[in-house]
Amino acid sequence: MSTDKLDSALNLELESLSADGRTKPPERIIEKYIPPRGETGPRYRLKGSEMEFIRFNSNSYLSLSNHPSLVAAADKATLDFGVGPGAVRFIDGTFSHHIALEKRIAAFVKKPGAKIFNSAYTSNCGLALSISNKKTHWIGDQLNHNSIIRAMRITNIPSENKGIYKHNDMTDLRRCLEEVRPEIERVVVVFDGIFSMRGDFAPIHEIVDICRSYDDKFKDGVITIVDDSHGIGAYGDTGRGTSDHCNAWPDIVVGTFGKAFGVNGGFIAGSHALVESVRQKADTYIYTNPLSVADCAAALTAIDICDSDEGLSLLENLKDRTAQFRKGLENLGLESISGPHPVVPLMVRETQKTQDLVKYLFENGVLVVGLTFPVVPRGDETIRFQINACHTSTDILYVLDLLSKFQ
Ligand SMILES: Cc1ncc(COP(=O)(O)O)c(C=O)c1O
């Protein structure tokens, strides 16, 4: 047997993706991490190049991935317990590190309990499997992350049990709530905290207020869920993300350890009943090995740092560098979307120009993400810059200088 027939069919599908301009470029391979030196932040070497690159495309907002305490904690956990759990959680794959991380992250996001997952992606899918039934109606923001869209799909609810509101449009959210059929018992409203391609945030205080006003209409109420994967750890007065910024806490919080915390893994935080339902019903929790103890130990250390003076000063630096970059773009007369978050989009609004600018930045040692048609509508072409706490003022000035010279 061979897969020749399947391979030809797959190749045709890949050609069609490519013709639509939807294929991902080849993956660049990082071969070396170069620690910060003097006025410059860390640099990276890529396979096939002698250049040193600055990453302006990393989600590691607090730059904790290479922090000596995280590395030491991961090393110690590995030396003590080994590299893999050997089984899923309910078949003795649960180690003290898993429990400790669940308690720590729940306390961090001010919820009674939490369950950890391999990623935020699988957390969203697991959450949907745990809380949805035939009488559940789901409502989401039009620009929600792919993992939320996928989570809503795997609930297998009929299309009339779904509503999508225009991005951050509260009038349209009300319309979606008004349209819920009377036989529905449970309404779930789910949204990103930070919209990762734009750096803008959900007005959680307004969403929570609106949902509360509809709560009595439904047997199980209206449940709010924020997926604040890009927000938690990255902004807000105490680093608790969009809820911190809006001073409003949705019923359920989903997040990742793989962005500001610099490690890997995801979580769902909420009531004890919710956490137990997730443990019993979330296939993406039950039937897969958990995070390694090394990941858990590193994530625990990251949260502790976030809650310390060191964390607050990293957050302050991140805020300052973000403000410096935003101000610099403004001074150059370049368009962005305003906001407090270290995702700073540069609105280029032309596909060719966006591609040329991404190439020019790459040739000058700067890694960024460009979004062009058809991934975004014509006119919305953007370059996403992500500021990290490790960027120095000199790094920011270097990029701004490059942008000022681009023709
Ligand atoms: C809102 C949101 N949820 C989930 C994810 C996925 O996170 P993870 O890598 O932990 O699966 C992302 C990542 O981009 C995201 O922006």
Question: What integer pLDDT is reported at residue 214 of this predicted model?
Answer: 98
Look at residue 22 and tell me if it is in a domain: no
Structural domain span for residue 72: 68-306
Look at residue 16 and tell me if it is in a domain: no
- Helices 68-81 and 293-306 meet at what angle, rounded to 10? 150
Question: What integer pLDDT is reported at residue 373 of this predicted model?
Answer: 85
Look at residue 160 and tell me if it is in a domain: yes
Q: Are 198 and 316 in the same domain? A: no
| Domain boundary, last residue among 265, 287, 306 | 306
Question: What integer pLDDT is reported at residue 338 of this predicted model?
Answer: 93
Q: Using alpha carbons only, give the angle 39, 69, 199 rounded to the nearest 5 degrees.
A: 60
Question: What integer pLDDT is reported at residue 375 of this predicted model?
Answer: 80
Q: How many domains, in total, are found in the chain? A: 2
DSSP β-bridge partners for residue 370: 383
- Ligand 1 nearest-atom number relative to CA 193: 1
Rounded CA gap, 373 and 376, in Å? 5
Ligand 1 centroid from CA 370, angstroms: 18
Rounded CA gap, 382 and 375, in Å? 10
Residues 365/51, Cβ–Cβ less than 8 Å: yes
pLDDT in tens, the chain (407 residues): 899 999 999 999 999 999 988 888 999 999 999 999 999 999 999 999 999 999 999 999 999 999 999 999 999 999 999 999 999 999 999 999 999 999 999 999 999 999 999 999 999 999 999 999 999 999 999 999 999 999 999 999 999 999 999 999 999 999 999 999 999 999 999 999 999 999 999 999 999 999 999 999 999 999 999 999 999 999 999 999 999 999 999 999 999 999 999 999 999 999 999 999 999 999 999 999 999 999 999 999 999 999 999 999 999 999 999 999 999 999 999 999 999 999 999 999 999 999 999 999 999 999 999 998 888 889 999 999 999 999 999 999 999 999 999 97
Q: Radius of gyration over alpha carbons of the chain, in Å?
A: 22
Residue 317 CB–ligand 1 contact under 6 Å? no
Structure tokens at 45: 């070497």
Look at residue 18 and tell me if it is in a domain: no
Q: Using alpha carbons only, give the angle 214, 215, 219 rounded to the nearest 5 degrees.
A: 120
Rounded CA gap, 22 and 15, in Å? 10
Question: What integer pLDDT is reported at residue 153 of this predicted model?
Answer: 96
State the DSSP code for 193: S
Q: Are 179 and 104 in the same domain? A: yes
Return the CATH number at 295.
Answer: 3.40.640.10
> Which class for 138: exposed (0-12), middle (13-18), buried (19 or more C-beta within 10 A)?
buried
Residues 321/387, Cβ–Cβ less than 8 Å: yes
Residue 192 CB–ligand 1 contact under 6 Å? yes
Q: Are 190 and 257 in the same domain? A: yes
Taking residue 291's Cβ as centre, other Cβ atoms within 10 Å add up to 24
The predicted-structure confidence for 320-375, as pLDDT tens digits, reads as follows 999 999 999 999 999 999 999 999 999 999 999 999 999 999 999 999 999 988 88
Q: Are 145 and 242 in the same domain? A: yes
Whole-prediction pTM? 0.97
Residues 141/201, Cβ–Cβ less than 8 Å: no
The residue contributing the CA closest to ligand 1 atom 13 is 229
Residues 344/325, Cβ–Cβ less than 8 Å: yes
Q: Are 247 and 326 in the same domain? A: no
> Which class for 360: exposed (0-12), middle (13-18), buried (19 or more C-beta within 10 A)?
middle
Q: Are 128 and 218 in the same domain? A: yes
Rounded CA gap, 303 and 238, in Å? 11
Question: What integer pLDDT is reported at residue 142 of this predicted model?
Answer: 96
Q: Are 234 and 96 in the same domain? A: yes
Look at residue 290 and tell me if it is in a domain: yes
Site to probe by mutation for ligand 1, drawn from 116, 121, 232, 386 as the one with most ligand atoms within 8 Å of Cβ, is 121
Q: Are 34 and 138 in the same domain? A: no
